[in-house]
Structure 1
Amino acid sequence: MKEINGGVTAAAGFKAASTAAGIKYKNRKDMALIYSEKPCRAAGTYTTNLVKAAPVKWDKEMVDHAPFIQAIVVNAGIANACTGKEGDTYCEETAKAAAECLSIPSDSVLVASTGVIGMQLPMDRIKAGIEAMIPVLDESLESGTDAATAIMTTDTVKKEVAVQFTAGGKTITVGGMCKGSGMIHPNMCTMLSFITTDLAISKELLQEALSEDVRDTYNMISVDGDTSTNDTVLLLANGLAENPEITEKNEDYQSFLEALHYVNEYLAKKMAGDGEGCTALFEVKIIGAETKEQAVTLSKSVITSSLTKAAIFGHDANWGRILCAMGYSGAQFDPEQVDLYFESAAGKLKIIENGVALPYSEEEATKILSEPEVTATADIKMGEATATAWGCDLTFDYVKINADYRS
């Protein structure tokens, strides 16, 4: 497997387009369209929030029951959440508008929205945006990158990646793009992620692969402890690589899992590292755990601790906050057996051993914690299980961004 330049248009047969529809933002692109020349098998995972946006409900229904999927329409700025029957109708209208322009069935069109909750979509602008994007659909890297930029809200950078591997003697490509910066919490977050591949694979295995991998990627990130109404991950496979269709968990399936995990983890970390107002990606590794569940619980507790996040922002090696967050996580461990390390591009430093502080250099610790990517590793010495979670520091700018988000 190797990483290549690209995103959602990297795989054979996939095109993208974007436009400035004026949905909420001015003087910037705010709509994107993904289209496959060939009908796709599709898989999806969605928010765990009981309050689900209209697009989430539409997409789940189509992915579960439509014969195939061929396009995705995305808008940024308005979430189409808490919008009642009118919002549900707008999903259907959006799909029909795209379907008519593309000459495909309306149930093969998925929709996704992100932005302010409670506002109705301006359907005249949505439909005009669709009509503007159809003629400029293109398979180029630039079109994919423009689409990744168009779906941003408070994101500061576009997020896209692509990889290639071999299956059945054919070169397979997996590419993706996502958006996410705030209202991000484990078990899905305010994120939209779109993954495309030219792999030939059964729908059942495609869904199983995505559902399993989400647990170790998107479900392991947090920015602010808020789980969104709109979280959606969609995976489309059009089979244009012409490999023998994967219908069992063989070597080719394992290669696909590796590629999918690379793409999802890359995008998940990009979202955590672009948390609203943040200055650093904060990675937490729990090693030596008795079970995977225990390690997951402990790592998530640390990355969601506001006090720990504030300490990372201040480049302060306040290890007591990490141990404290582990202690209230609900997972059982012996605090007097914990070793803790801080690590970054500036070096690695053991902070505590067997639950007690070592005579480390505060100056060296601050230097390590001043890097844009910081890792805390806790060894709890109970077994062989591990888990990694990703978050970010908590800054003054986070409050500023969210204090006036609607306006």
Structure 2
Amino acid sequence: MQKIEGGVTAAKGFEAAAAAAGIKYHDRTDMALIFSEKPCKVAGAFTTNVVKAAPVKWDRNVVDSGMKAQAVIVNSGIANACTGEEGMKYCEETAKEAANVLGIDAKSVLVGSTGVIGMQLPMERVKDGIRKLAEAKKPDLESGTQAAQAIMTTDTKKKEVAVTVEISDVTVTIGGMAKGSGMIHPNMCTMLAFITTDAKISRKALQAALGEDVEDTYNMISVDGDTSTNDTVLLLANGVAGNEKIRYGTWEYEAFKTALHYVNETLAKEMAGDGEGATALFEAKVIGADTKEQAKKLAKSIVCSNLTKAAIAGHDANWGRILCAMGYSGAQFDPEKVDLYFKSEAGKLKIIENGVALNYSEEKATEILSQPKVTAIADIKEGDVEATAWGCDLTHGYININADYRS
């Protein structure tokens, strides 16, 4: 596997575009298109929130039906959530307009929305934006980057990644883009991720690869503990690479899944590190666990702790908050066996051993915790299983952003 430049247009046969439709923002692009020259097999993962946005329902119907998809239309600014029958009608209108200008079947159009909940989409602006997207679409890497920028809301930077992997002596490419900064606590944030690949792969293998990997990537991040109404991950495969079809359970499947994992993990970490108001990516790694479930519960509990996140923001080695978060995680462990370390580019420092504080340097701990990426490593000494979760520090900036987000 090799990391390469680009995002959703890195894979063969895909084009992208961005447009300024003025849906909510009036100083930037706010609509994006991903288009494939050939119909794609599609896999998806969606929010478990009972309150589901109209685009989630629309896309789920497409994925569950087994229909192929050829285009994705995404808008930022308004989430099209809690919009009733009108919201579903808007998804249909979006698909029909896209189908008309792109010359494809309306049933092959996927949609995505992110932004304020409860507002209705200004459909004339959306339709105008779709026409602009159709005219602007290109297969170059810059168009993919522009699409990644257009789906941002409170994000401070675009999120995209691409890799190649050799499968049966054929180079296969996987590229992706995502947005997510607040309302991030996926159970599959407002979190959207769109992944493209030119791999030829069975629908069963495509859905299995995404479904299995979501659990170790997007579902292991948290910014604020809020699971969005719009969380969506879509994976489109057009088969243009020309490899032998990848089937579930084969070594080719494992190679594809490894590359997909890199893409998903990279996008997930970028979302966690770009949390609203954040100054640092906070990584919690639990090692020495007896089971994967135990390790995951403990790691996720650490990155979700507001007290711990605030301590990271203050560069304060308040390890008691981490042990406390582990204690209410729901996972059983012996606190008197736990070793805890802090690690960053500034070094690695053991803070507690067997549940008791060591005589460590507070100055060194502060230096380690002052870096843009900070890792807490908890060794519970029960086995050889580990899990990692990602979050961010909690600053005053988070409140400043969310106190008046709607208005």
TM-score of the pair, normalised by structure 2:
0.99
Q: What is the alpha-carbon distance in structure 2 between the residues aligned to residue 35 and residue 142 of structure 1?
A: 15
Residues 75-122 of structure 1 deviation map (CA, whole Å, 9 limit, x = unaligned): 000000000000010001100100111111111000000000000000
Alignment gaps of 5+ in structure 1: none
1:189 is aligned to: 189
Contact 1:186 1:300 in 2 (8 A): no
Partner secondary structure for residue 98 of structure 2? helix
2:131 is aligned to: 131
Q: What is the alpha-carbon distance in structure 2 between the residues aligned to residue 334 and residue 249 of structure 1?
A: 37
1:379 is aligned to: 379
What does 1:320-359 align with in structure 2 at a 5 Å threshold? 320-359=320-359
1:248 deviates by 3.4
Q: What is the alpha-carbon distance in structure 1 between the residues aligned to residue 325 and residue 186 of structure 2?
A: 16
2:149 is aligned to: 149
Residues 137-157 of structure 1 deviation map (CA, whole Å, 9 limit, x = unaligned): 101110000000000000000
Contact 2:186 2:231 in 1 (8 A): no
Q: Between Structure 1 and Structure 2, how many residues are aligned?
A: 407
2:275 is aligned to: 275
1:232 is aligned to: 232
Alignment gaps of 5+ in structure 2: none
RMSD between aligned alpha carbons? 0.7
1:174 is aligned to: 174
TM-score of the pair, normalised by structure 1:
0.99
Partner secondary structure for residue 216 of structure 1? coil
Which amino acid counterpart does residue 388 of structure 1 have in structure 2?
A: T
What does 1:256-271 align with in structure 2 at a 5 Å threshold? 256-271=256-271
Query: Is 1:11–2:21 an aligned residue pair?
Result: no
Contact 2:145 2:160 in 1 (8 A): yes
Q: What is the alpha-carbon distance in structure 2 between the residues aligned to residue 319 and residue 66 of structure 1?
A: 49
Which amino acid counterpart does residue 48 of structure 1 have in structure 2?
A: T
Contact 2:336 2:355 in 1 (8 A): yes
1:296 is aligned to: 296
Q: What is the alpha-carbon distance in structure 2 between the residues aligned to residue 392 and residue 275 of structure 1?
A: 6
What does 1:6-405 align with in structure 2 at a 5 Å threshold? 6-405=6-405
Residues 216-272 of structure 1 deviation map (CA, whole Å, 9 limit, x = unaligned): 000000000100000000000000000011123212111101100000000000000
Contact 2:277 2:401 in 1 (8 A): yes
1:64 deviates by 1.4
Residues 170-228 of structure 1 deviation map (CA, whole Å, 9 limit, x = unaligned): 10000000000000014252210000000000001100000000000000000001000
Identity, % of aligned pairs? 71
Q: What is the alpha-carbon distance in structure 2 between the residues aligned to residue 86 and residue 248 of structure 1?
A: 39
Residues 51-71 of structure 1 deviation map (CA, whole Å, 9 limit, x = unaligned): 000000000001111531000
Contact 1:11 1:196 in 2 (8 A): yes
Q: What is the alpha-carbon distance in structure 1 between the residues aligned to residue 361 and residue 139 of structure 2?
A: 53
Deviating 4+ runs (over 3 angstroms): none
Contact 1:30 1:77 in 2 (8 A): yes
